[in-house]
């Protein structure tokens, strides 16, 4: 806070905070009381620290109003705002504390669909999406190294144009599936080599990115969600080392990247035989080895949570 604030002025500002905090004192739910009282302290601290002008307050109200009106059944502009401020990712961080060498979590994102097709271990999750075929394999283990047989694995990704199936009309399903790890905790499937895409930037959040000279791009990634009884549900991505959107100048618009989640994907010419002998009819292909380590904990129903 600016240090030229008089003691009388400071007292007036602090007295106001005390009044507002006090006003929530009768809240029956203890957690709600705590959340609101802390919210008051942090928001007031912000207003006082930056000495928010009335014009700036008004701009903030107008911006939130635009975000509210951009939010429809099909678009969540508040989530987008939370994403580009890193708040979604911080919430993920707080709820997925470091545990040994457990795989890091990242944002869930808006493109998961409950009830994606079941594929066999070794099957194809691409659903015919345009893109370079990619063979993905690995093992699901616990933090003590024990394999997790039967772990449920959800995978989803954008096509080679950077779009998820749900972003198209017509309801065609592609680029998503679920499968189960085998008795050794191993999994394998065909998908496609991931492609970077821009978050929806034609609304107020896009205007914010423009005004601050930020990129709307997310580096290419493949989404994973892994669930097994007795383990903390893992929601994460695998990124692609060498992606231009992992560079110094541009970063993930939603701050979902962790160094530990950037993987080397192998690239293969059409001549090289595929791991499972599949005939790709003259196409080059990619490969990823991704071993997952689950922390102990509870299964979380993210699909229900994020509905």
Q: Which does 13 bind (CB under 5 to 8 A by kind): Cu ion, Fe ion, a copy of itself, none?
A: a copy of itself
* Cβ neighbours for 276, distance < 8 A, ≥ 6 positions apart: 122, 135, 188
Which of 105, 109, 192, 236 forms a contact with Fe ion (CB under 5 A)? 109
Residue 287 binds Fe ion, judged by CB under 5 A: no
* Cβ neighbours for 234, distance < 8 A, ≥ 6 positions apart: 96, 102, 103, 105, 224, 225, 226, 227, 292, 294, 295
Q: Which does 118 bind (CB under 5 to 8 A by kind): Fe ion, Cu ion, a copy of itself, none?
A: none
For a copy of itself, the closer CB: 21 or 166: 21
- Coil/strand/helix, residue 248: coil
Cα distance between residue 232 and residue 227, in whole Å: 7
Which of 3, 26, 269, 277 forms a contact with a copy of itself (CB under 8 A)? 26
Q: Where are the alpha helices (DSSP H) in the chain?
A: 7-23, 30-50, 54-70, 77-84, 87-95, 204-211, 302-305
- Coil/strand/helix, residue 204: helix
Whole-number minimum distance, CB 84 to Fe ion, in Å? 14
Q: Residue numbers of the site for Cu ion (CB under 5 A)?
A: 42, 45
Residue 191 binds Fe ion, judged by CB under 5 A: no
Give the HSE-up count for residue 243: Cα atoms under 13 Å, Cβ half-sphere.
Answer: 26
Give the HSE-up count for residue 28: Cα atoms under 13 Å, Cβ half-sphere.
Answer: 0
Is residue 91 within 8 A of residue 107, CB to CB? The reply is: no
Whole-number minimum distance, CB 11 to a copy of itself, in Å? 9
Whole-number minimum distance, CB 202 to a copy of itself, in Å? 17
Which of 3, 30, 74, 98 forms a contact with a copy of itself (CB under 8 A)? 98
Residue 89 binds a copy of itself, judged by CB under 8 A: yes
Residue 256 binds Fe ion, judged by CB under 5 A: no
Which of 122, 275, 302, 303 forms a contact with a copy of itself (CB under 8 A)? 302
Q: Which does 109 bind (CB under 5 to 8 A by kind): a copy of itself, Fe ion, Cu ion, none?
A: Fe ion
């Amino acid at each position: 806070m600016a240090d030229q604030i008089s003691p009388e002025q400071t007292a007036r500002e602090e007295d106001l905070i005390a009044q507002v905090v006090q006003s929530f004192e009768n809240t029956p739910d203890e957690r709600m009381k705590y959340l609101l009282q802390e919210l008051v302290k942090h928001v007031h601290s912000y207003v006082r620290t930056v000495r928010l002008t009335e014009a700036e307050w008004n701009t903030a109200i107008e911006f939130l109003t635009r975000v509210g009106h951009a939010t429809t059944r099909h678009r969540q502009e508040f989530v987008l705002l939370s994403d580009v401020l890193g708040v979604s990712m911080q919430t993920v961080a707080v709820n997925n504390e470091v545990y040994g060498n457990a795989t890091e979590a990242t944002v869930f994102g808006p493109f998961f669909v409950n009830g994606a097709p079941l594929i066999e271990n070794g099957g194809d999750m691409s659903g015919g999406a345009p893109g370079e075929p990619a063979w993905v394999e690995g093992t699901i283990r616990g933090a003590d190294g024990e394999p997790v047989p039967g772990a449920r694995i959800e995978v989803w990704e954008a096509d080679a144009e950077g779009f998820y199936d749900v972003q198209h009309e017509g309801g065609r399903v592609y680029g998503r599936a679920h499968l189960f790890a085998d008795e050794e905790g191993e999994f394998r499937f065909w998908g496609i080599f991931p492609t970077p895409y821009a978050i929806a930037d034609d609304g107020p959040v896009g205007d914010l990115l423009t005004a601050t000279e930020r990129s709307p791009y997310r580096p290419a990634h493949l989404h994973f969600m892994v669930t097994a009884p007795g383990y903390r549900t893992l929601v994460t991505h695998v990124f692609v080392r060498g992606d231009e959107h992992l560079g110094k100048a541009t970063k993930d618009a939603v701050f979902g990247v962790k160094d530990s989640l950037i993987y080397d994907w192998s690239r293969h010419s059409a001549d090289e035989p595929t791991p499972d002998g599949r005939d790709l009819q003259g196409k080059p292909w990619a490969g990823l080895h991704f071993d997952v380590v689950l922390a102990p904990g509870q299964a979380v129903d993210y699909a229900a949570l994020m509905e």
